[in-house]
Amino acid sequence: KLSTMKMLLSLIALLSAALLANTAPPTCYSRVLSLSKEITESFKELQTSKAVDSCVEMLPRLYLDIHNYCVLAKLRDFVAYPRCETVLEVSELKEKARSLYTIMISYCRRDLVFLTDDCSALENPVLPPIEPS
């Protein structure tokens, strides 16, 4: 009876550990990665939106690769861009970019690894080919 109780307690402990692992808070890296993807997608939507101001066409390109050291300068340039203050979508996007920059340089600076510093790759990204459907 005692061994059955120990086995049951071990099983409960194992299941509890598995449950905690699945609900663990996001890491700095996963947060930076998801926010950069969210910003890139929002920028694409902004570019294709019909209801945006003409200044949106003049915004600096915003393709983000968090493994490229030049992304920090890209984020700074985008946030500092002096036009489009009256376009709500641009203001929201600048706020997200500011948040990403802050997270990268302060909260996560020790957790991030930059694999390149190729600034032209952020201007003319090589995107994976779209597979035919």
Q: State the pTM of this model.
A: 0.71
3-state secondary structure the chain: CHHHHHHHHHHHHHHHHHHHHHCCCCCHHHHHHHHHHHHHHHHHHHHHCCCCCHHHHHCCCCCCCCCECCHHHHHHHHHHCCCCCCCHHHHHHHHHHHHHHHHHHHHCCCCCCCCECCCHHHHCCCCCCCCCC
Residue 94, pLDDT above cutoff 90: yes
pLDDT of residue 34: 92
pLDDT, greater one: 49 or 73: 73
Q: What's the pLDDT score for residue 61? A: 82
Query: For 2-46, what is each residue's pLDDT tens digit?
Result: 667 676 667 676 666 655 555 545 788 889 999 999 999 999 888
Percentage of the chain beyond pLDDT 70 is 72
